[in-house]
Structure 1
Amino acid sequence: MNKKELRQKQKERLSSFADSTEKDTEDQALLTNFINSQILDGKESIGVTSSLSYEVDTSKLIAYLWDQGKDVYLARANDNPERSQDFLSYNYTTKLGKTKFGVEEVEDPKAKVNNQLDLVIVPGLAFARDSHQRVGFGGGYYDRFLAKHPNAATVALANSQMIFETATWNVEQTDIPIQTIITPNSILQK
């Protein structure tokens, strides 16, 4: 299956799942597994994306990171031909605005940019259990960012609807596998 078809099917699947109580249960299990893992040990600067309704909810995770005294940076896709992205400082008082895709991003043009992150929480629509490959939203922003910043540790939170035993999609040379995938029932290390 090509990625474009898979993205469409996954968006429909995840949108349907978002209306269930099971999603809330799995989101809480993912947060608990993240908290109980050792993934934050020695990590101070954390990059994350504000989630859409059908994605794993990152709001409680962000609040937890703030409570732990971590420096949180929110992803911002840059409107340029390179399809680059930056991570901007994000705290309780930061003003956010919605993009044309519905994602909340930091609005302050003077916000501190930090792309030398200790940990990046990578979003996606599908994750392969065996190879840790992912299918994102099609812009290549995260793969480009991770290629330029290979020292950042990567983790993904994947609910039961996002996990595939193996990649049923075409994996491209530019696709960057995720180091750790946290599921509602396990922590998968690469």
Structure 2
Amino acid sequence: MNSEDSVNSGSKEVIRKRIKAVRNDMDRDDRAQRSKLICRRLSALPEYVNAINICAYISKGNEVDTRLIVERAWADGKHVYVPKVYGQDMEFIEITDYGELASGNFGILEPVSDDFEEIEDGLMFMPGIAFDHSRNRIGFGGGYYDRYLARHAGLVTVALAYEFQIVDKIDSEPTDIRPHIIVTESEVIS
């Protein structure tokens, strides 16, 4: 079994562990270059161009750098919302600059404000560890996005992922919500 086969097979926990290890081994320049390509590909999508509201997470560690697309969204005159966790749920709060964020749950930057809005339409970025070509997703295991999206079905969802995060097959649960689109540095899966 070669290393690609080992990343592409196994249980959700095995896949999660293997993909995290590959992602954590990325160097800063590789992450920056791949993130730029993903941002460029995403910003050309009609779903981005036509969206007024952007629900974005703030990337952490070696995740695809969402700051690039957040800054692009502000420059494009879009409203940018980021999540804040409240117990087992999360809400999205508009920010206009990074000074409105502080370290929150799981060490992730969250809005200082509690002034959340119900966002019924727009584009939401879904984080994840791994995805397949059927758009199944392995998240971080908390179910926050699945619960939020069950209440906000009007949002178009897009996952930002490195090509190595795309695996052969992911078994899904009935409560799993798949992103509508996955954008990597080399392809758009929809």
TM-score, normalized by length of structure 1? 0.88
Displacement after TM superposition at 1:12 (Å): 1.9
Displacement after TM superposition at 1:20 (Å): 5.0
Find 1:104's aligned residue among 102, 106, 109. Answer: 109
Q: For the residues of structure 2 that align with 1:128 and 1:42, how far apart are their CA atoms?
A: 26
| Structure 1 letter corresponding to 2:20 | K
Q: Does 1:145 align with 2:148?
A: yes
Q: Which structure carries more helix by proportion?
A: 2
Displacement after TM superposition at 1:100 (Å): 4.0
Give the 3 Å change call, closer, same or farther, for CA 43–97 of structure 1 in structure 2.
Answer: same
Q: Report the equivalent of 2:4.
A: none
Q: For the residues of structure 1 that align with 2:130 and 2:141, how far apart are their CA atoms?
A: 12
Q: For the residues of structure 1 that align with 2:145 and 2:76, how far apart are their CA atoms?
A: 25
Q: Report the equivalent of 2:163.
A: 160
Query: Where does 1:1-190 land on structure 2 (aligned, <5 Å)?
Result: 1-17=10-26, 19-79=27-87, 83-92=88-97, 94-109=99-114, 111-129=115-133, 131-167=134-170, 170-189=171-190
Cα RMSD between the aligned structures? 1.6
Give the 3 Å change call, closer, same or farther, for CA 141–112 of structure 1 in structure 2.
Answer: closer
Q: Report the equivalent of 2:7.
A: none
Q: For the residues of structure 2 that align with 1:132 and 1:4, how far apart are their CA atoms?
A: 18
Unaligned runs of 5+ in 2: 1-9
Aligned residues: 181
Displacement after TM superposition at 1:149 (Å): 1.2
Query: Per-residue CA shift, 1:57-111, capped at 9, x if unaligned?
Result: 00111000001110100011212xxx211100111265211124121000123x3
Unaligned runs of 5+ in 1: none
Give the 3 Å change call, closer, same or farther, for CA 2–59 of structure 1 in structure 2.
Answer: same
Q: For the residues of structure 2 that align with 1:122 and 1:91, how far apart are their CA atoms?
A: 20
Q: For the residues of structure 2 that align with 1:88 and 1:96, how far apart are their CA atoms?
A: 10
| Structure 2 letter corresponding to 1:55 | E
Q: % of aligned pairs identical? A: 28
